[in-house]
Amino acid sequence: METGEGAGGPGGPDGQGIRFGCASFNQDSTSLALGTKNGYKLFSLTMVDKLDCIHESAETPDVYIVERLFSSSLVVVVSTATPQRMNIYHFKKGTEICNYSYPSNILSVKLNRQRLVVCLEESIYIHNIKDMKLLKTLLNTPSNPSGLCALSINHSNSYLTYPGSATIGEIIVYDANNLSTVTMIPAHDSPLAALTFNASATKLASASERGTVIRVFSIPEGQRLFEFRRGMKRYVSISSLSFSPDGQFLCASSNTETVHIFKLEQMGPSGEDDAATWSAYMGKMFSAASSYLPAQVSGMMSQDRAFATVHLLSSGQRNVCTLAMIQKLPRLLVATDDGQLFIYNVDPQDGGECMLAHKHRLFGVDDDQFEGTESEGSEVTRPAQAYPSYAATAALPASGPVTATLTGYCEDGGAVKGEVIPEHEFAAGPVCLDDENEFPPINWCRDGTGGGRGRRS
């Protein structure tokens, strides 16, 4: 799943990251990418007690943006040395596919199977990811110094969202496939801080700079579906939002020590909660009473609190979180800017305090010192593996449509027999690629000003 971050994790183009400049999970949370002072690292997230470093590059120093396209070989990298240039690599071949230059610093990059979006402070560039052609430039967008935006991972509903105002929490929903504005959502009274879509692009979650309330809206209609209160005692800076793969849960991390998980409970056909619990009963009682109370009071009473929580070892650290299925169980993953990855077990029935399953050191045993009595993290392993090409995993076969039960290749594990390859892992139509002419099949890349030049792999 993609995370609702601002500009590139702990550092940013002008920031001071502790051990790395950024951390991002790929679109389906099967991989973690780190931008470091020496380059970038890619980790596979298929096991709880084992963290495999599948690639490490030292060619580009001071990376503050690194984004991987699902489990493919395509990686987008931006460095503080050249913050106006985006480099696209085929990391398994060790070659650069192309590079683009832009009028100002790149603040964030988002990608799915159809589109690659580059966000600057006052403009957004939308590319066709198959040939890297520039399709649309959104100029004079409201000032967005954090580069906040979100791109849905669903290939058929490729929605882009970004702030519609620099002073209040307006959200612009843009159709990146048809290149047209869909709607504007008046989400919050204060400026936006985080945005994220669910996997099917039917829901959008948002948080403002105050960080007290998280709202979920239907897409493309923009109707408010849920409100969750993170807390009332203090304003916080929410750094990450992420839906679970099934869209039933939403996690939120901030600069505090607490990570919240909210449950999106649906109403039954009769309008009653599916689970007749005491909390559901009290919620209906409060909802009925809210019509007789002042708006501010009724608003607070109608908002649900966290279904589950995690308390990190310390507060004030930049972090990114995601919800994923690992070894067939729901997990919460939190990467912190001191080089740690925490994996927690989530109880989808009862919630409560999540139990720490494992803690990994992203920079090896000797790089960090840990306190507390929690389980010691494991060393990062770097197995020698032969990977199939991007074309073998991302492109549709020429013979007929792909179904949700198609078996195929997993780039982290080779041939997978009997396992389901999700529909969103494949492009919407046939892509004519082969091992010698990898994706994207281009000779030249043009930047927003017409001066960029790319290289084929």
Backbone angles phi, psi at 44, to 5 degrees: -90, 135
Q: Are 430 and 395 in contact (CB under 8 A)?
A: yes
Q: What is the pLDDT along the chain (457 residues), one digit of tens a residue?
A: 444 444 344 344 544 444 578 999 999 999 999 999 999 999 999 999 999 999 999 989 999 999 999 999 999 999 999 999 999 999 999 999 999 999 999 999 999 999 999 999 999 999 999 999 999 999 999 999 999 999 999 878 999 999 999 999 999 999 999 999 999 999 999 999 999 999 999 999 999 999 889 999 999 999 999 999 876 556 788 989 999 999 999 999 998 899 999 999 865 443 444 444 444 444 455 445 444 545 444 444 445 679 999 999 887 788 999 999 999 999 999 999 889 999 999 999 999 999 999 999 997 543 333 333 343 444 444 433 344 443 333 333 333 332 332 222 233 333 233 333 333 433 443 333 333 334 444 334 434 443 344 433 3
Measured torsion, CA atoms of residues 438, 443, 448, 452, in degrees rounded to the nearest 10: 110
pTM, two decimals, is 0.76
Alpha carbon distance, N-terminus to C-terminus of the chain: 28
The pLDDT of residue 303 is 54
Q: What distance in Å separates the CA atoms of residue 446 and residue 23, rounded to the nearest whole number?
A: 28
The rounded Cα 443 to chain-centroid distance in angstroms is: 30
Is the Cα dihedral 368, 373, 374, 377 positive or negative?
A: positive
Buried b (16+ CB within 10 A) or exposed e, 401-440: ebeeeeebbbbbeeeeeeeebebbbbbbeebebeeeebbb
The pLDDT of residue 313 is 84
Side-chain-side CA neighbours of 91 within 13 Å: the count stands at 27
The pLDDT of residue 269 is 44
The pLDDT of residue 285 is 52
